[in-house]
Amino acid sequence: MNAAREPIGVIGTGYVGLVTAAGFADLGSEVFCADIDEHKIDMLKRGEVPIYEPGLAEVLARNRERLHFSTSLEQAIAGSRLLFVSVGTPPTYAGDADLSAVLAVVDAMPASAQHALVMKSTVPCGTGRSIARMLADQGKGELAYVSCPEFLKEGSGLEDFTRPDRVVVGDDGDGWAGDAVCELYAPLGAPLVRTDVASAEMIKLASNAFLATKISFINEIANVCEETGANVLEVARGVGLDERIGPKFLSAGIGYGGSCFTKDVSALKLLAANSGYHFQLLGAVIEVNELQKRRVVSKLTRRLDSLAGKRIGLLGLAFKPNTDDMRGASSLVLAARLQAEGAHVRAFDPVATAEARKIMPELDYADAVEEVIAGADAIVLVTEWAEFLALDWAAVKESMSGTVVIDGRNALDGAKLRAAGLDYEGIGIG
Ligand code: UGA
């Protein structure tokens, strides 16, 4: 069999599942996707894409012949031996990862030595071992198991699929499945980390926790810069040039959002706690991030006195640009805090408004950025969408009622805004 053309099954058609399916189809694999959500599967069959991810619609469309969608697992099991699991593992009320969707897939697997579960969903370290035990108890011990964590970022998922920094493949035997997964990824030419299942699981959690730590670290540096007159952009540039540190993920702002960092940092902390270890550092990372989301409120209060009755415009709602994902978005906390202070909050996001409405139905949503700016006492850049960076700031000044612009992402040109007569303030940049 031509390794690059090994057919695969993909169970769960969220961000990870769909990008994986599209990526492997583009490399030549026949891909059998399954999801219990009928509505999603119907959309996909019609050629519609249920999520916003740049380029995804095009790649799915050009591989339509190779992509098959179904609400049952039968097609995937019949058509492929590698079943990539990419179902959700949201946090439980206790903060651990909820593995019910993963376990439902395990239960639905046949007793087959010809098949392998390839775990892409982010799961706590130790899950692979528990699943192996479960399979054995169910008389399905022959089924192979591989951990193959995903590192793609929303908004650049396809690019990350095609050019991964590394591919991690963990298996505990010398079986065929780990080799087959490596072969599938081989055309990408990425560095391969072939390891055991537990280490593969931990690589994923540790990577996200480290990136979140980097962000909380630079956010605290930014806060100290504000007290000392230093500029965090200069500091991050100087620090990031040290090759041991690196320049990425040193952008200060209003905190990290998204489903992954928030979920995985807390899941790793609790995983440690459940095994009797107190992971102190991650407690601080989480707390710094929560406080950072609220920092804009004190900046606005300092400039506007009371926020009661003030009109505050939010530019952007999504947790980052190029996605409609609102999970864990800093805007949720910020908007709620501003409303609690009595402000009138109006918001616009080019893509995420529909998602935001589901979570914050009471917010005042605008249909265009101009409507957020008009009459505002202050505006806050929450998500650095390109269209906000290209605004005509002289026109913004004319249209606003006040002059305050808080740049929650340090993405605007402060000098330009000041020249237009606006009171510009970023995070840690004076
Ligand atoms: C993150 C990881 O970057 C991926 O490697 C991982 O695969 C993914 O989680 C996952 O586990 O599924 P993602 O959540 O899509 O990806 O988004 P990021 O680009 O990492 O951004 C996360 C948040 O951090 C955003 O709110 C972003 O604005 C913020 N951020 C990022 C900063 O505040 N500063 C930075 O320097 C970088």
Mean pLDDT of 79-84: 97
Q: Single out the residue of 256, 258, 387, 412 nearest to residue 323, CA to CA.
A: 258
| Tens of pLDDT, residues 111-168 | 999 999 999 999 999 999 999 999 999 999 999 999 999 999 999 999 999 999 999 9
Quickly state the pLDDT bin for 96 (edges 50, 70, 90). Answer: confident
| Tens of pLDDT, residues 186-244 | 999 999 999 999 999 999 999 999 999 999 999 999 999 999 999 999 999 999 999 99
Name the residue with the closest Cα to ligand 1, atom 36.
249
What's residue 4's pLDDT? Answer: 54
Mean pLDDT of 22-41: 97
| Tens of pLDDT, residues 368-382 | 999 999 999 999 999
| 3 has a pLDDT exceeding 60 | no
Quickly state the pLDDT bin for 311 (edges 50, 70, 90). Answer: very high
Write down the residue that tokens 């979570």 correspond to: 359
Distance CA 402, CA 418 (A): 13
Count other C-beta atoms under 10 Å from residue 373's C-beta.
23
Distance CA 356, CA 14 (A): 18
Pocket, ligand 1, Cβ cutoff 6 A: 122, 150-154, 208, 211, 215, 249-251, 253, 256-258, 260-261, 264, 319-320
| Tens of pLDDT, residues 62-77 | 999 999 999 999 999 9
Residues 201/205/207/208 CA torsion (nearest 10 deg): 150
The whole-model pTM stands at 0.94
Distance CA 190, CA 162 (A): 9
Mean pLDDT of 27-37: 97
Atom of ligand 1 nearest to the CA of 15: 12
Phi, psi of 186 (to 5 degrees): -50, -40
Atom of ligand 1 nearest to the CA of 151: 7
* Known catalytic membership, residue 260: yes
Residues in the chain, how many? 430
* Beta strand extents in 36-166 (DSSP E only): 67-70, 82-85, 116-119, 144-147
Tell how far CA 65 is from the center of its chain: 29
| 175 has a pLDDT exceeding 50 | yes
What's residue 1's pLDDT? Answer: 41
Tell me the residue type at 190.
A
| Tens of pLDDT, residues 234-259 | 999 999 999 999 999 999 999 999 98
Atom of ligand 1 nearest to the CA of 122: 11
Residues 259/260/262/266 CA torsion (nearest 10 deg): 130
Q: Which of 260, 291, 296, 333 to mutate to test the pocket of ligand 1 (most atoms within 8 A of CB)?
A: 260
